[in-house]
Structures are given as structure tokens and as C-alpha cells.
Structure 1
Amino acid sequence: MPSAAERTRTLVQSTCSAVLLIPGLTTAGFDQLIPLDRSVGPEGDLFLEFPADSPAVRAATYAHDELTAVLEITDVAPVSVPHRIRGRGRIKGRLTPVPGMAGPGRMMLRLETGEAFVDDLWGAQGVEPEEFRDATVDPLVAQEAELLQHLYAAHGEQLNMLCGLLGERTEGRCATHTPAVVPVALDRFGLRVRLREADGQCFDARFDFPEPVRDMVGLHRAMHTLFEAAAP
């Protein structure tokens, strides 16, 4: 399974929505605290780009290196599924402006990673700054949303066949009624689906790949093997 540090790093460098929370900054609208862009530096610090006149930039500029902030990331499944929020990540640290790193009309802010935390489908866990710095991003993060949407739209029959791989847990239920199977998460280690039964109850199942995939070629091969195993 991906480590907590890898999951947190992947959230930060994904397209998930994020907001910068600054204690005491109560007059700013929510949309004014959403970074235009975000990235991670070689030392594990976060670089957040904002309009130069944003409340976050003003707060960081006049705080004299004493401002603590939290970047909060919310991960929402890209397909329609019950309990759609897949997880949240939080990075807390000291916030400072970095002049000269952004284009005209913008300012780069650096959030020095002091504390990190992830609460997702794998569970809740803290992450040390050094672990976050050294973690790698999941290689499928840029394509995950599109891939899940494609699976949901074009491979419903094959997804439903995965029920047959779950053994005794669903043997009786799948024989009388096949639950709706929705792909909810995909990473280099495997595919997670959410099974929704007729009465509205849901449960997740995880299908691990034979080995971690590195690219789209490896993913195609792994998914072919998975669907082949589920075929009657």
C-alpha cells in the first residue's frame, strides 16, 4: 500500500481542491484563499501562488516571518458514488513571501512543512516533514480522474464481474443480486471499488495488482489481468 507520506504528497501535487487557512484572517472570502498553483520544493516546502493583492499575500508580507498557516486539501471522487469525499490532507508550517518567483501581478508564498496529516480511505496518520520531503508522487495521479471516469462509463460489465473475486464475503449476495460496482480510487498498487447494494448499503473492495505499475503500459497490462481473472 502507499505510505502516508506518499499519499499526502500525491494529494498536494494532484488537482484536488485546496485552501490556505490563516489564523485570524476572518475577512477573506473562501475563494480568495485558494492557491492559483502549488508545488513542492526539493526540501519539502510548499510553494503556493496567489494574486499579489490577495489577503494571504498581505498577511504573509506584514507578519515578519511569524505567520503559521495550514494548507487543507479535500479529495473528492471523480465519479458519482455515495460518500464521495475520499480523504483530506493538512500541511501546517510557517508562511513567508518569496518575491521574484511568480509572474506579474502574482506572488509566491512558501509554506515550510512543519506538520503533515492525511485522513483517507487507508486511514488517518501523521507524516514527519522528512518523510513528506522524501516521498514520491503516485505515477497515475495526473490521469487518475480520467481513468476512473472511463472505467465507470465504458467498463461497467467488467467492473460488476469483480464481485466474483470477493469470495465468501459476497458469495450469497452476488448470486442473487449483483451490487453496483463503482471505481473509486486508483494508484500504482491497485484499484479500489465501492459496491452499492439494492438497499443502499455500501462497502469497499480493493484489488491489488501483481506488481506496482510505473506507467500507462503497465496499468493496461494490470487491468487486463484483473478483468481476465474475474471473467466467468
Structure 2
Amino acid sequence: MGDGHTCTAAPAAAERARSVLAAAWSCAVTAQGGREELVGAHTVTDDGRLFLEVPEDSALLGAALCAPRGEPSAVLEFADVAPVPVRDRVRARLWLAGRLALADGRLAFHPTRGVLRQPSGAVVVGPQELASAAPDPLAAAEARLLTHLADCHGDAVERLTRLVDPGSLYGAVRVRPLAVDRHGLTLRIERARAHGDVRLPFHAPADTVAQLTERMHALLTRAAAASCPRALRRQRTDGEG
């Protein structure tokens, strides 16, 4: 592996976009030439409707009132940031173009087009795709799960590298858990001047934390049965000394 990304079972673009919306804590809104940074202000309903809680003096309220009916009037930007400190922590960005409108005393945003940019490239997500997709079932718990894995089970992360192609570990100075979803775990392999990601797929999707625990145990069982290239290299080096 170079510094690319291994392609295995992974969430579809619309599901990934909904996961970004579910997990992101902040967003930037550009409307009528102005830009506002909102924190903890957006909510998404089960059917994909998006609402913003803004101050009474927010220019976004005026943008909603003055925007031409039916025409896009705003762009929302969300960043998906890795909960574990790694190099280049932004895992994806989501832009939603659409229109702002007042509905039931709230500021509603109706997306007309979405663009999800990941290291593998950018993908357009249509409004119907976005509305009908569901976020990954582990999205809300991902930050807690990955932080616990990195802080309390570094030995487990080390064992999981036995499932990685030896060439991918060449020059590695640190391996950290980068992401987890119902389909698999992604590890960030950092080198002195570069980094790459490796995905370890689960044998079956995990829709609950309990199922994720079983899938992780299955990966560790596979790792225990595999040889460890780095351990073998260390043994050879010690023997030569």
C-alpha cells in the first residue's frame, strides 16, 4: 500500500453524509455574501429535514425572508474530524447547497445538492438520496469508542497491525484508530513524512455497540493467529546484535 486508501466494504456516500451530519458539532453557513459559524445549532430529523437554531439577530433570518422562492440561497459546510489525535484529522467535508426558510418558528434548510469530499475523492449526493439514507448506527458512539480504543487498548491496536500487509507498515512510526463504522475499522499509519490508511473489514455488519465488540474480538482473534512482521523484524535485529 502507498499512501492511498484500501477499498473494502464501506458506507455509501449518502449514508456517510448523514453520518457526518449526525456527528458534526458545528457548521459554517454562507448566505447573501456573509458567513456564520454555528456551534451545536443543527438538528436532523429521521426523514432528513435539517433545522438551524440561530440568534434572533442572525443575518440568516433575513436571508431566509429575502431569498427568491425556490432558489438556492445558502451553503452549509460540515467537517468530519477524527476524535483521536492524528495527522490530518479532517476525514471528510460535506457541503450542502439549498434554501433557507422559516417553518414553525424555526429556520429550516432544504438541500438541493450535496457534495461529500473524502480522501478518495468527491461525490455528489442528491437531496432524495440524503433524505432517504440513515446515518451509520455507530456514528453517535464513534468518538467515545475510538478514544477508548486509543487511550486504553493501545496493545490491541498493535495486535491488529498483524492483519495489515507488511509493506504498508514499512517506515511506520505510529498506528492509530482513525474511524469505525458498521462495516469495519480504519487505521491511520503515520510515517516520518507521510501517512496512509488501512481498512479492516468486519465479517458481518455491526449495528449495535454489542455487535461491534464481537466484531472487534473476531479481528483480534484473526490477528492472534497471524504472524507479526514487525515483531519478526525486531527479533531478527536483536539476533544480529
Please report the TM-score for the alignment, with normalisation by the length of structure 2: 0.81
Q: What secondary structure sits across from 2:187 in the alignment?
A: strand
Give the drift of 1:202: 1.4
Identify which of structures 1 and 2 has the higher relative contact order when contacts are C-alpha pairs closer than 8 Å and 6+ apart.
Answer: 2
For residues 202 and 12 of structure 1, what CA distance do their matches in structure 2 show?
A: 26
Give the drift of 1:46: 1.8
For residues 173 and 201 of structure 2, what CA distance do their matches in structure 1 show?
A: 20
Give the drift of 1:226: 0.8
The equivalent position to 1:48 in structure 2, one of 46, 52, 77, is: 52
Is 1:212–2:205 an aligned residue pair? yes
Is 1:95–2:100 an aligned residue pair? yes
Q: Tell me: CA distance 1:154–1:169, structure 2 relative to 1, closer, same or farther (3 Å).
A: same
Q: What secondary structure sits across from 1:94 in the alignment?
A: strand
Is 1:169–2:178 an aligned residue pair? no
Partner residue in 2 for 1:116: 114
Runs (4+) off by over 4 Å: none
Partner residue in 1 for 2:176: 182
Give the drift of 1:64: 5.7
For residues 83 and 40 of structure 2, what CA distance do their matches in structure 1 show?
A: 21
Q: Tell me: CA distance 1:41–1:219, structure 2 relative to 1, closer, same or farther (3 Å).
A: closer
The residue type equivalent to 1:196 in the other structure is E
The equivalent position to 2:158 in structure 1, one of 154, 157, 160, is: 160
Q: Tell me, which stretches of 5 or more residues in structure 1 are unaligned? A: 101-107
For residues 182 and 151 of structure 1, what CA distance do their matches in structure 2 show?
A: 9
Identity %: 36
Give the drift of 1:41: 5.9
Q: Tell me: CA distance 1:178–1:116, structure 2 relative to 1, closer, same or farther (3 Å).
A: closer
Is 1:74–2:79 an aligned residue pair? yes
Answer whether contact 1:61 1:97 (CA < 8 A) is retained.
Answer: yes
For residues 217 and 100 of structure 2, what CA distance do their matches in structure 1 show?
A: 46
What per-residue deviation string (whole Å, max 9, x for no partner) do you get for residues 49-80 of structure 1? 21222121122134363561111101111111
Q: Tell me, which stretches of 5 or more residues in structure 2 are unaligned? A: 1-9, 228-241
The residue type equivalent to 2:198 in the other structure is A
* Count of aligned positions: 215
Answer whether contact 2:183 2:206 (CA < 8 A) is retained.
Answer: yes
The residue type equivalent to 1:40 in the other structure is T
Answer whether contact 1:67 1:96 (CA < 8 A) is retained.
Answer: no
- Judge which range, 178-187 or 131-140, deviates more: 178-187
Q: Tell me: CA distance 1:225–1:41, structure 2 relative to 1, closer, same or farther (3 Å).
A: closer
Give the drift of 1:167: 2.8
Partner residue in 2 for 1:24: 33
What per-residue deviation string (whole Å, max 9, x for no partner) do you get for residues 91-133 of structure 1? 1111111133xxxxxxx21111200110124531001111111
Q: Tell me: CA distance 1:41–1:190, structure 2 relative to 1, closer, same or farther (3 Å).
A: closer
Give the drift of 1:3: 0.5
Q: Tell me: CA distance 1:154–1:121, structure 2 relative to 1, closer, same or farther (3 Å).
A: farther
For residues 212 and 119 of structure 2, what CA distance do their matches in structure 1 show?
A: 21
For residues 216 and 162 of structure 1, what CA distance do their matches in structure 2 show?
A: 19
Q: Tell me: CA distance 1:97–1:35, structure 2 relative to 1, closer, same or farther (3 Å).
A: farther
Q: Tell me: CA distance 1:226–1:10, structure 2 relative to 1, closer, same or farther (3 Å).
A: same
For residues 170 and 119 of structure 1, what CA distance do their matches in structure 2 show?
A: 24
Partner residue in 1 for 2:185: 191
- RMSD across aligned positions (CA): 2.1
Q: What secondary structure sits across from 2:140 in the alignment?
A: coil
Partner residue in 2 for 1:222: 215
Answer whether contact 2:113 2:125 (CA < 8 A) is retained.
Answer: yes
